[in-house]
Structure 1
Amino acid sequence: MKLFLLAALVAIVTAGEHKLKCKTVSVRGKIHKKDVLATGINRPYQLSMYKHEHKIFFSYNVGKNEEDTFEIGYIKKGEKNVTAIKEVFNGFASAVDEENHHVYLGGSKGIYKLNLKNNNETLENIVSGYNIWYMFFYKHLYFIDFPSQNLYVYKKNATKVHYIKDKIYQYVIDKDGDQFITTDKGLYRIKEGSSAGHDRHQYSDIKLFRGAALDNTGHAYFCSNHSIYATNKNNHTLVEIAYVRNVFGITFDNQDNIVYSDPKNIVKLLPGNCD
């Protein structure tokens, strides 16, 4: 009887701990539970998902508290340990070409292309002489240099995108070919085919965004300090879809679940309540 009671108490305590650990957040008014994919990471930024293998690439701080030294790593599905890619010095940005099985990794000494096709991983330095701040892939590789915050496109070389004069912090191209840029004045959309980028709409005057991503349908999303937003092109606004404290970056998995990072964790939001 004592053994039975002890087992029952352990089961109750375990269930209680599970409920305490499991947390939820509302996404578009529907409850989602937080699935912590990895923890104990110092400020994971700039998430990008290689969906073929559910590998999440990101940058994170490996320096001491008084200094920032970044490194690029990734986590695999079902594994919480971070695999570091130390060949990329001061790695800070990543972008995925899903169709060709390429992951681009950027750091203080340029850009590397990681070839993941047929499990034959090779790393090739393709761009030198730039300190990479941010990257995005849509037909071509786009990247932003630091500290100039200029936007470039890589086509066997690096060509500056001349019609965008602003200093840019994040950049994406959505399913319609419209470009979204964040600057120190806010978030803007430049309509596809706009001559010299003049057909521009401001979506938000938020001065600091931390991340940008496309879902699987090609719609653009952004995150600021405490919120994740979707873009609404009907009225040129951002729509807050989730309130989450201290968001550092966002991406989407192959089921269109939101994956985000906070100061120590990488979390996936799954529909439904805690069991």
Structure 2
Amino acid sequence: MLTLTIAAKSLPHKTCNRLKINEQWYDREIIISNMGRPYSLQVHKSTNTLFFSYSEPDTYTDTDFQLFDINLATKEQHIIAGIRGGCAVAIDQANDDIYLGGSDGIYKYNMLTKLADYYKEKGKNIWSLYYNRNLFYVSYPEQKLHIEIDGKFMAVKEFGNFEVDLFHVTGNNEIYVFANRTGLYTYDSNTFTVHILSEFLSVRQITEDNEGTIYICTNIGIFTYIYKSRDLIQIVDLKNVYGLAFDKDNQFVFSDEKNVVLLKHSEYGCITNDNNW
């Protein structure tokens, strides 16, 4: 988790465009704007490139979602072509493998050619992707979780009775955090039990920073999740956050309805703070 101890000086609120998280202040730098609800944010750490999906509600084709990448340092950006309904991203940071999902299967992205090549699950509608030692995907409309083992995908039997929208594994690889339309839950692989974290939150992304702290991006703001105590702690009260990731320097990157924003630590704060955009 980000922890800085520099005391923040105060500026009048009318001149202030900063955000407060964990008693620290951050400047908001808009990375890219005029995108339709960017979500599924993931950063390829070795190149500091952000991948995300956004919606195209006014399109006249059958593609409602589009995948995009932007280098956070150089601002070089690309629309990722060739993936119909592209809406999912997962990255194997250790092997530099970038997986992208759409309405016709899973693809792998080549950072040199900027092209996506078909990988597996041809004809499957991919709702979300996740990587932790293995590649996982959630199918649509069944909302079932699958795992790749020895080159083949199979349904995760422990989740056979659950719908899954989003999925994450904690650092000890024993607690699985998952969300669906009914709320946020954990599954303990040691005791084979499911625990309810919240039946009221609408979860938009589950992610972690570079130090392994888990963050839950929801309709009412951003929470951290402490898996040892099963505590949810709200750190940001924002009602229009759609995605969250962390860059190579562990800085917050998140999105609202139209923008992707990078937060940079500031020595200055605001006299008042309502965290509105």
Do both proteins adopt the same fold according to a TM-score greater than 0.5, normalized to the shorter chain? yes
What does residue 111 of structure 1 align with?
A: 106
Q: CA deviation at 1:78?
A: 3.4
| 2-structure distance, mates of 1:21, 1:162 | 54
What does residue 272 of structure 1 align with?
A: 266
Matched residue count: 252
Residue 152 of structure 2 is aligned with which of 152, 157, 161?
157
**Could you give the per-residue CA deviations for residues 22-68 of structure 1, whole angstroms, max 9, x where no partner exists?**
61111112212212111111111110110111111011122408997
**Could you give the per-residue CA deviations for residues 116-154 of structure 1, whole angstroms, max 9, x where no partner exists?**
4xx466633122121011111000111111111100012
What does residue 124 of structure 1 align with?
A: 117
Q: Is the 8 A contact 1:24 1:273 kept in 2?
A: no
| 1-structure distance, mates of 2:227, 2:267 | 31
What does residue 187 of structure 2 align with?
A: 190
Q: Secondary structure at the match of 2:119?
A: strand
Runs of 4+ in 1 over 6 A off after TM superposition: 65-68
What does residue 139 of structure 2 align with?
A: 145
Which sits farther off after the overlay, 56-65 or 102-111?
56-65
Q: Is the 8 A contact 1:230 1:241 kept in 2?
A: yes
Q: CA deviation at 1:253?
A: 1.2
Q: Is the 8 A contact 1:174 1:214 kept in 2?
A: no
What does residue 92 of structure 1 align with?
A: 87
Task: Give the TM-score, by structure 1 length.
Answer: 0.84
Q: Is the 8 A contact 2:145 2:155 kept in 1?
A: yes
What does residue 232 of structure 2 align with?
A: 238
Residues 1:203 and 2:185 are matched in the alignment: no
Give the number of the structure whose residues are more often strand, by fraction.
2
Q: Between the two proteins, what is the percent identity of the paired residues? A: 26
| 2-structure distance, mates of 1:205, 1:122 | 40
What does residue 221 of structure 1 align with?
A: 215
Q: CA deviation at 1:167?
A: 0.7
Q: Is the 8 A contact 2:170 2:227 kept in 1?
A: no
| 1-structure distance, mates of 2:187, 2:239 | 29
Higher RCO structure (Cα 8 Å, ≥6 apart): 2
| 1-structure distance, mates of 2:46, 2:15 | 30
| 1-structure distance, mates of 2:190, 2:95 | 26
Q: CA deviation at 1:79?
A: 4.4
One-letter code aligned to 2:172: D
RMSD of aligned Cα (Å) = 2.3
| 1-structure distance, mates of 2:204, 2:63 | 17
What are structure 1's unaligned runs of at least 5 residues?
A: 1-18
CA spacing shift, 1:263–1:81, aligned 2, 3 Å: farther
Q: Secondary structure at the match of 2:245?
A: strand
Task: Give the TM-score, by structure 2 length.
Answer: 0.83
| 1-structure distance, mates of 2:201, 2:48 | 32
Residues 1:69 and 2:67 are matched in the alignment: no
Q: Is the 8 A contact 1:25 1:243 kept in 2?
A: no
Larger radius of gyration: 1
